[in-house]
Structure 1
Amino acid sequence: MSHDPELADDWEYTLQVPSDPMAPCIARRTLRTIFEEHGFLELADTAELLTSELVTNAYRYSDGPASVRVKRDGDRVRVAVWDTNPRLPSLDAAPRPDEEAEQGRGLELVQWCADSWGGYTLRDQPQGLEGKLIWFELGARRQQRVP
């Protein structure tokens, strides 16, 4: 595949995923490809991990499809996950998982690893979307790929 990093300084991709247990895996692989092709390898592992956590939550706690939007704007990359459940999670109200637990730390990971993050409820949108959107940002420095 030909890759010219000068072709697109700012870009945006959207991935629609069904309510399916494979959605987090598909999202991780898609994010990896986007970050590799645009020369942001130093962010790929973190972006994959955080996106996987958000898409997993969308699968577990909503009853419909989800979407993942990845957008570069200047020196930032923002990943946003939309799902059909309008209830925003709260770090403050959630009980801390015990040290042996295999789940329950997704938003803590987002909080620790992202440069910034947040979320909001969507209601009565012109596009008909309702639910919530959780997003995170990572600082971006493009690395030149070796062909």
Structure 2
Amino acid sequence: MEANPAAGGAAPDRPEIQISVALIGDGEDIAQARHLAAGFLARAQAEHGLPVSQRAKDLTQLVVSELVTNARKYAPGPALLDLRITGATVEVVVWDTDPVLPVARAADAGRVGQHGLEIVMAVAQGFEVQREPVGKRITARIALADDPGGAICGRRPL
């Protein structure tokens, strides 16, 4: 895993906060990606004064773990992880080499495993999948601050 921190100017008063990492499939990618996400949010909070709730930290690590696990499991070759602060959310972006778009399976309490995408979609404030010229890119957005209405995922309950 190689880190490539980048900072640019998204807006004159708020710098873009971002880190990109190449995942090389060495068996430690998933744990390292989770630790990277925790450190990234801690730095965003400490160095930029952004409000980052414990819920946001926990959910970001969960989403990173699920998306990186899927990339390692289903896509041959390297993967990329981008974390960036966009407004009041953290974006978790994972690119992998497999062009097949993931599909959440129907709920089945008896099914063991294969719930990762369902979990990500349930906790993310936003979720999208894009086919790329090579592979695909999955983006999940998680609110940095707790929802004042008490919704766990930052969305209003249905």
Q: TM-score, normalised by structure 1?
A: 0.78
2:65 to 43, 52, 62: 52
Residue matched to 1:145:
none
**Residue-by-residue CA offset, 1:8-36 (whole Å, 9 max, x unaligned):** 65311101111232211110010011111
Q: Cα RMSD over matched residues?
A: 2.1
Gaps of 5+ in 1: 1-6, 124-129, 143-147
Residue matched to 2:150:
none
1:99 to 104, 110, 115: 110
Q: Could you tell me which amino acid in structure 2 is paired with residue 30 of structure 1?
A: L
CA contact (8 A) 1:119 1:133 kept: yes
**Residue-by-residue CA offset, 1:3-60 (whole Å, 9 max, x unaligned):** xxxx965311101111232211110010011111212242111000011000000001
Residue matched to 1:87:
100
Q: Is the strand fraction higher in 1 or 2?
A: 2
Aligned-partner SS, 2:61: helix
Residue matched to 1:33:
39
Q: TM-score, normalised by structure 2?
A: 0.73
Count residues with an aligned counterpart.
127
Gaps of 5+ in 2: 1-12, 46-51, 147-158
Residue matched to 2:156:
none
**RCO higher in 1 or 2 (8 Å CA, sep ≥ 6)?**
1
Shift of 1:118: 1.0
Aligned-partner SS, 1:109: helix
Residue matched to 2:131:
121
Residue matched to 2:25:
19
Aligned-partner SS, 1:10: strand
Identity %: 27
User: Aligned partners of 2:107, 2:88: CA distance in 1, in Å?
Assistant: 34
**Residue-by-residue CA offset, 1:107-130 (whole Å, 9 max, x unaligned):** 00011100010111101xxxxxx1
Residue matched to 2:144:
140
Which of 13-22 and 111-120 deviates more? 13-22
